[in-house]
Structure 1
Amino acid sequence: MRANLREHIEKIIPLTDEEFSFVSAHFIPKNFKKHQFLIQEGDPVKYSYFVISGLLKLVHTDATGKEHIVSFAMEDWWESDYYAFYTQTEATMSLQCLEDTEVLCCSFDDYKKLRDGLQKMERFFLEKSTFGFLGSQRRIISWQTSNSRERYEQLLKQYPSLFQRVPKSLIASYLGVSRETLSRLSS
């Protein structure tokens, strides 16, 4: 499990064995079953999660009870309700397993210790945050400028394995289309 974390971090920054030992000590391994929640709306957000194996969905439920899929997270990805995590407030989204999932959990206190205790990790977290922000901007622009077919094709091109792992109803929700529209797009 921890070898996956080291490999992931070292895509951005090199670590000595001593440095990785320090980093590794700030993560807790946890296993979750399919359909289990890591975060539920209204609860405090204790962790940011690094996905070792499995698949997660981050969902916001609006005032009418309709679920909106904000993101999916698979192996080698980080996920949390980051607003609640960084502000240490209650979750406004839920994080749920779509498959049995193994994660490494980093608490907010451990995140701060890593960031403050090892300058390399501050750079790592900055890089991850920057790329997450860029991805969010691309998704917003796509929603504003692309039709549903273009969004579908872009998702299929970018994450083809998602289509084998996620039910079509959830893909439709993520794209903001009906299940029927998704069926027309995929044919």
Structure 2
Amino acid sequence: MKEKLREHIEKVVPITNDEFTFIASHFSIKKYKKNDFLIQKGKSVLYCYFVISGLLKLVYDDKGGKQHIVSFAMEDWWESDFLAYFTQTKAKMSLQCIEDTEVFCISLKDYQKLSDGLPKMESFFLKKSNAGHIAAQNRILSFLTSNAKERYVQLLKQNPSLFQRVPKTLLASYLGVTRETLSRFSS
């Protein structure tokens, strides 16, 4: 299991065996079943998660009770309610398993210890953060400049496996369309 974490980190920064031993000591591994919550709206956010296996959805429930899919996280992805995690406030979103999922977890305290104790990990986290910001901005731009069909095609090109793993209702929510509209796109 830990080799997956090491491989992921080494795609960004080189690390020695001793450094990896130090890195791994800051993470724990947790397993969750389909439909389990890793984060629940209104509760404390204890961890940032790195997905070893499985699939998660980050959701925001608006005041009208409508669920909005903010993101999906699959193998090799990081996810959390980052605002709540980094500010140690209550979650505004929920993180739930779409499939049975196994994750590496890191608390904010361990994240900070790891970043302070090994500057190359601070660089790693910064690069992963930057990639996340870029992806979020691209998603916002897509909603501002693309129609629903174009967003569908873009998602299909970027993450084709989502279409086999995610129920159409959730994909429709993520794309901002109805399930019926999504069905028309895929036929």
**TM-score clears 0.5:** yes
TM-superposed deviation, 1:186: 1.0
Q: Encode CA deviations 1:61-110: one digit per residue, 9 max, x unaligned.
A: 00011000000000000000000000000000000000000000000000
Aligned equivalent of 1:76: 76
Amino acid at match of 2:159: Y
**CA separation in 1, counterparts of 2:145 and 2:8?**
33
**Percentage identity across aligned positions?**
67
Amino acid at match of 2:172: A
Say which SS state the counterpart of residue 72 (structure 1) adopts: strand
Aligned equivalent of 1:61: 61
Task: Count matched residues.
Answer: 187
Amino acid at match of 2:169: S
Amino acid at match of 1:4: K
Aligned equivalent of 1:91: 91
Alignment of 1:11-160 (within 5 A): 11-160=11-160
Say which SS state the counterpart of residue 12 (structure 1) adopts: coil
Say which SS state the counterpart of residue 56 (structure 1) adopts: strand
TM-superposed deviation, 1:35: 0.3
Amino acid at match of 1:151: R
Q: Encode CA deviations 1:125-169: one digit per residue, 9 max, x unaligned.
A: 000000000000000000000000000000000000000000001
Moved beyond 2 Å, runs of 4+: none
Say which SS state the counterpart of residue 75 (structure 2) adopts: coil
Say which SS state the counterpart of residue 43 (structure 2) adopts: coil
Pairwise CA RMSD of aligned residues? 0.4
Amino acid at match of 1:102: E
Aligned equivalent of 1:168: 168
**CA separation in 2, counterparts of 1:180 and 1:100?**
27
